[in-house]
Amino acid sequence: MSEPNKHPASASFTTSDALPRVSHGEGVYIYDTDGNRYIEGSGGPTLFCVGHGNREVGDAIKSQIDRIAHGYRHIFSSDPLEALQTLIAEESGGDLTRMVFVSGGSEAVESCLKLALQYHSANGEPSRRRFISRQRSYHGNTLGALSVSGFEARRAPYEGALIESSQLSPVNVYRPPPGVAPGDVAEFCANELDEEIERLGAETVAAFIFEPVVGAAGGAVPAPPGYAARLREICDRTGVLMIADEVMCGVGRCGAWRALAVDGVTPDIMAIAKGLSGGYMPLGAAVYREPLHRRIIDAHGEVISGHTYTGHTTACAAGLAVQTIIRRDGLVEKASADGDYLRAQLSQAIGDLDFVGDIRGRGLFIGIELVADRETKEPYDPEMQLFIQVRTRAFANGLICYPTGGNVDGRRGDHIILSPPYTASRAELDEITDKLATTLRQVRETL
């Protein structure tokens, strides 16, 4: 095992004054200006899918900037934008052929909500203004995206200014709704959507938004088999649009380019970001079906969404380079196989720890839930801030991971997300496993 980093385990790293300064990155490693090395166990916030310092991506960015940084979207299109549109449409499949490019995940979700509203207006149903989502979900930090998020800690400062939305039960087989057997979670939770649409009146509901694999608010929680297919049937029957938030779980992270493709379902609108440009440039997109586009164009002449940097030429060049690498090098398939390997290694390394309750996920999107009692699944007292203890100790050990709290009821619950770059070798996945196992044993000794 390598020497521990110089930063003390007690450092909180919650303000910029306390944070170490980044120096450079290479592959799955990142270095600070004090010479400490960290391995990307979570790719930052599930972001760095092809690692750091990729020369091919860097060259694409520099080459584009040497010509022009950005051609404003209302005046010019560009080769990188059009090539990226084609690639995304091919990977998305079906009639998910249209997209609005933005600067990140929150903007992508905000654009999805606006697309749903504009579509219903264009379709002669302006009364469809309500959104339905789920508890233990996180869709972004803009006011609209936050309004449909079930993440209490991130919503709290803004309550009273958020738009009204309905939030249904989390879909989590490890923590099913009260009185529901694990095998019945899919049907029970799908029926909740059906019942809420009926209660509100289908003519008032614009869309249902959900994460196919829940990220920060739940800890890499995949939906059970059959759930997404039931949602599709309900949405088709009621005229409610299905929005898949794949900002964290999409673009190959879960072993398919579209996470929802694993469930055999196509959404009406989809948010993507993070892995789209792999952190090399700010980039996200709202991808939507051709029939929605045609109806909007016929009625309004244009999609009334987007920003100054929509379709930013250099950002699209970065995204195109990242996506070309992912496709050419078979990294989606690699993420699927490596995810199975990493979960098996984690089960062997930490599965016997008495406070590890669940190891779950899809592909290279893995969640570990920590509990005070494995038998009852009782979480730790939130005052302990166990997830922060884990994050701080892991960082001191040279591991970047993504622990978060509140996954049980908004306040209680501690989980860790691992989402390393798709390019990580098996030896590097073993290093992540070893460092996490060391960290958890150290933390457990203090409890």
How does pLDDT run across 159-217, given as a tens digit for each residue?
A: 999 999 999 999 999 999 999 999 999 999 999 999 999 999 999 999 999 999 999 99
The per-residue pLDDT for range 90-113, each reduced to its tens digit, is 999 999 999 999 999 999 999 999
Q: Which backbone phi and psi does 5 adopt, to 5 degrees? A: -70, 165
**Mean pLDDT value across residues 354-373:** 98
Min mean pLDDT across 14-28, 417-431, 433-447 is at 14-28
Q: What is d(CA 272, CA 282) in angstroms, rounded to the nearest whole number?
A: 12
Q: Is the pLDDT of residue 313 over 50?
A: yes
Mean pLDDT for the chain overall? 95
pLDDT band at 16 (very low <50, low <70, confident <90, very high): low
Q: Is the pLDDT of residue 1 over 50?
A: no
Contact 96, 289 (CB under 8 A): yes
Which run of H or of E encompasses 45? helix 43-46
Contact 364, 419 (CB under 8 A): yes
Task: Output the DSSP codes for 250-290.
Answer: TTTTTSSSSGGGGGT---SEEEE-GGGTTTSS--EEEEE-H
Position 12 scores a pLDDT of 44
**CA 9 to the chain's CA centroid:** 28
Q: What is d(CA 111, CA 145) in angstroms, rounded to the nearest whole number?
A: 9
Q: Which backbone phi and psi does 355 adopt, to 5 degrees? A: -110, 10
Position 5 scores a pLDDT of 73
Q: What residue type is 389 in one-letter code?
A: Q
Give the Cβ contact number of residue 263 at 10 Å.
Answer: 22
Contact 163, 143 (CB under 8 A): yes
Sign of CA dihedral 377, 402, 147, 115: negative
Position 243 scores a pLDDT of 99
The per-residue pLDDT for range 277-303, each reduced to its tens digit, is 999 999 999 999 999 999 999 999 999
Contact 92, 328 (CB under 8 A): no
Q: Quote helix, strand, coil % in the chain, to nearest 5.
A: 40, 15, 40
Sign of CA dihedral 158, 164, 170, 171: negative
Q: Is the pLDDT of residue 254 over 90?
A: yes
pLDDT band at 136 (very low <50, low <70, confident <90, very high): very high
Between the alpha carbon of residue 157 and those of residues 145, 349, 385, the distances in Å are 14, 39, 19
Q: What is d(CA 291, CA 49) in angstroms, rounded to the nearest whole number?
A: 32
3-state class (DSSP) for residue 203 = helix
Query: Token pair for residue 38?
Result: 């960290």
Helix axis angle for 185-200 and 227-238, nearest 10°, is 20
Alpha helices in 55-184, H assignment, sequence order:
55-67, 79-92, 105-122, 143-147, 152-155
Q: What is d(CA 418, CA 401) in angstroms, rounded to the nearest whole number?
A: 6
Rounded percentage of the chain residues whose pLDDT exceeds 90: 94
Position 296 scores a pLDDT of 98
Position 58 scores a pLDDT of 98
In the DSSP assignment, the letter for residue 379 is P
Position 8 scores a pLDDT of 45
Q: What is d(CA 444, CA 305) in angstroms, rounded to the nearest whole number?
A: 49
Q: What is d(CA 99, CA 282) in angstroms, rounded to the nearest whole number?
A: 16
The residue assigned the tokens 């203004």 is: 129
Q: Is the pLDDT of residue 237 over 70?
A: yes
Q: Which domains does the chain have, with CATH numbers?
A: 22-53+330-446 (3.90.1150.10), 57-328 (3.40.640.10)
Q: Of 272, 269, 170, 188, which Cα lies nearest the Cα of 226? A: 188
CA dihedral 94, 142, 73, 121 (to 10 degrees): 60
Position 18 scores a pLDDT of 85
Burial state string for 155-168 with b = 16 or more CB within 10 A and e = fewer than 16 = beeeeeeeeebbbb
Position 4 scores a pLDDT of 60
Task: Output the DSSP codes for 299-337.
Answer: HHSS-----TTTT-HHHHHHHHHHHHHHHHTTHHHHHHH
Position 13 scores a pLDDT of 45
Q: Of 198, 281, 199, 189, which Cα lies nearest the Cα of 226? A: 189
Position 6 scores a pLDDT of 62
Position 306 scores a pLDDT of 83
pLDDT band at 10 (very low <50, low <70, confident <90, very high): very low
pLDDT band at 9 (very low <50, low <70, confident <90, very high): very low
Which phi-psi region, left, alpha or beta, contains residue 16 (left: φ > 0; alpha: ψ -120 to 50)?
Answer: alpha
pTM: 0.96
**Mean pLDDT value across residues 115-125:** 98
Q: Of 13, 21, 2, which Cα lies nearest the Cα of 391? A: 13
Position 280 scores a pLDDT of 98
Query: Token pair for residue 2?
Result: 């390598």
